[in-house]
Chain A
Amino acid sequence: MTVEAASPQETVATRVAGIGRTLIPDRWLGLVLLAPSAVVFLLLLIYPLLYGIWTSFHSVDILDLASGGGSFVGFDNYLWLLQNAQFWHALKTSTLYAGIVVTLQIVLGTAVALLLHQSFKGRAFVRGLVLFPYMMPVVAVILVWMLLYNALFGAINYILFSLGLISRIDAIAWLSQPDSAFAGVVLVSLWKYFPFVVVIVLARLQVIPQDLYEAARIDGAGAWSRFVDITLREIKDVLIVIALLRTIFMFNNFEVVFLLTHGGPMQATLTLPILVYETALDGDRAFGRGSAIAVVMFGLLMMTMMVYFRFLRREDRQ
């Protein structure tokens, strides 16, 4: 610590700070209060993370579980990965899934936020209800949508049939054909996670200064140009942040896809998280190979985070 002339207040604070009788000066107290959390991070995040990287260079199977051992295999797991068509397929599926879902979420979320920013009767109720899917247990969400998707008596097919969009009521077995299963997974992910975008964008909309709009109106700007020049410009930064962070989140999302389709049918919804699960935690339990996939995913995540932190720095400078 540098020696500085402390202000009188600081001197008082430092002198009296302490736990009971044992005086702990502030500069130690900061560390003492942080220590338990730091230990948890170290043991439950950093250590497992490093252990995962270690595992990715070893061949570890179910027999090694108790001993914690495994034989060193160098880059074998990564070579296996690069030559594995399933891996490339899953990488493509994950990217496509995350890209489509995030785009739809941002479009729908922003539109709904703009709508909920208007004044109308019952607005507080609607704002609350819109967040419901987001807070609901993912298993419950999946089970309800499986009932809705049912080919024989599902409500979705019935509604499409009543509207004349499909010819027979059992025309679409949503989750058992590759294309419709992918669409089905996208729709549920959209339904469950778009409220998050609504909350963030709505919060941002509420702090746009109203006089910007009045000045534009006096200048004769129409509704569309007010939207583009003021609203969109003001929320642009928030949208970029959401796009980056939601992409990370959807790319790594395991639960919705796994519970709805288990990666099928015919691998149409096989994403990287599901491949990790199938490789390491199900079937042949190849922990080393599974870890190699996870390490690659971690690399992609860090790259995206780097873009994010750079963006934050640029924003701070402005």
Chain B
Amino acid sequence: MTRSFRRSLAQGRTYLLVILLLLFVGFPLFWMLMSSGKLNSDIVRIPPVWIPFLPTLEHYEELFEVTQFGRWFLNSLLVCSLSTISAVTLGVLGAYSLSRLKVRGKELLGRSVLLAYMFPGVLLVIPLVLVFTRIGLMNSQVGLALAYLTFALPFVMWVMRDFLASVPVDLEEAAMIDGASRLEALRDVVLPQAFPGIIATGIFAFLFAWNEYLFAAVLVRSHDLQTLPPAMANFASAMDTRWGLIMAASTLATLPMAIAFAFVQKYLITGLGAGGVKG
């Protein structure tokens, strides 16, 4: 066997494996999109209609006419924005303190942040229900946003601590020698430098909240206030034969993530990595 033959054999094997990978990962995504555009009679047809000849938009129209999808979508947007903005504001300040300033017991604090970030929602949900009921935060979107802070804030702090540590200290010191206070240096020098990272971290925090189900299902029960994940699960089990409708809802719920994805791809490793922890 010649060397070039062997190399093209290896190349061929690589492409074969890549195709298998694409099928495994991509097929459910493809199926969701295709089913949302099929007539109901085509969805249940055997053999399956792989690609609808004339895609229909009727399920998307029905989604907004028959269900309160638009409302739930806005609720999700509201709750997730609220928790993300609070988490980023508090988290960036805290992370700056952890990465630059002298605080006693900083290492222990950093470790607690990691532990907090690891903390599974299912272990928090009972006490949160009990406490929120007593102080009137049950069935409230503010309450849900607060509950999301339990993972969003440690996430932002954990990622931003490393990110801020990589911003050179020299610039800040130069500004301070020129007479800026430390907070002015933070505002005028550090934050602009770290801005892309802050945005990416914020987008991740937003997506984690957008995808969350347990807190959303337990803490907000009323139909009008619910966010997308529990509302979708409910209407899917109530109309479990309307697959076109259900797939249209799934596609639209995935959309914000697909858009955000384009922006954050560069930061995926920092963002998802976050020390290789949770998700």
Interface residues of A (CB under 8 A from B): 1, 9, 12-13, 16-20, 26-27, 29-31, 33-34, 36-38, 40-41, 44-45, 47-49, 51-52, 55, 60, 65-66, 68, 112, 115, 118, 120, 126, 128-145, 147-148, 152-153, 155, 158, 162, 169, 191, 193, 196, 199-200, 202-203, 238, 241-242, 245, 248-249, 252-255, 259, 273, 276-277, 280-281, 287, 290-291, 294, 297-298, 301, 305, 309
Contact = CB atoms under 8 A, between A and B. Distances in A.
Given A9-B173, A137-B253, A305-B115, 16 more contacts: A16-B182, A30-B103, A60-B130, A134-B279, A137-B210, A139-B236, A140-B232, A141-B28, A152-B46, A193-B279, A196-B272, A245-B277, A252-B120, A294-B122, A298-B123, A305-B118
Closest 10 CB pairs of A and B: A30-B101, A252-B120, A48-B127, A140-B250, A37-B94, A33-B97, A17-B182, A30-B103, A52-B127, A273-B122
Contacts of A36: 90, 93-94
B124 interface: yes
Which of A133, A137, A158: most chain B CB closer than 10 A? A137
B233 A16 contact: no
10 contacts: A16-B182, A17-B182, A132-B25, A133-B28, A135-B207, A135-B211, A143-B246, A255-B214, A273-B120, A301-B120
Interface in B34-63: 35, 43-48
B126 A245 contact: no
B14 interface: yes
B102 interface: yes
User: Chain B interface: which size bin?
Assistant: 35 or more
Given A132-B25, A252-B122, A48 B131 contact: yes
B5 interface: no
B90 A138 contact: no
Interface in B1-43: 11, 14-15, 17-18, 21-22, 24-29, 31-32, 35, 43
B205 interface: no
A37 B157 contact: yes
A287 B234 CA distance: 24
Contacts of A19: 181, 183
B133 A65 contact: yes
Nearest to B26: A129
A192 to B, nearest CB: 10
A36 to B, nearest CB: 5
Contacts of B29: 132-133, 136, 144
Contacts of A131: 261, 268, 272
B279 A40 contact: no
Interface string B101-145: 111000001011001101111111111111101100000000000
A169 B46 contact: yes
Interface string B214-240: 100010000000001110110010000
B28 A9 contact: no
A143 B111 CA distance: 37
A45 B154 CA distance: 11
Which of B35, B91, B120: most chain A CB closer than 10 A? B120
B150 interface: yes
Given A133-B25, A147-B247, A200 B273 contact: yes
A115 B153 CA distance: 35
Interface of B: 11, 14-15, 17-18, 21-22, 24-29, 31-32, 35, 43-48, 90-91, 93-94, 96-98, 101-103, 109, 111-112, 115-116, 118-131, 133-134, 146-147, 149-150, 153-154, 157, 173, 176-177, 179-183, 207, 210-211, 213-214, 218, 228-230, 232-233, 236, 243, 246-247, 249-251, 253-254, 257-258, 261, 265, 268-269, 272-273, 276-279
A153 B233 contact: no
Given A68-B134, A140-B253, A120 B14 contact: yes
A90 B267 CA distance: 38
A315 B1 CA distance: 45
A248 B123 CA distance: 12
Contacts of A68: 130, 134
Contacts of A287: 126, 129-130
Contacts of B257: 135-137
Contacts of A118: 14
Which of A29, A65, A200, A309: most chain B CB closer than 10 A? A29
B228 A137 contact: yes
A12 B28 CA distance: 60
Contacts of B130: 51, 55, 60, 65, 68, 287
B226 to A, nearest CB: 12
B22 A129 contact: yes
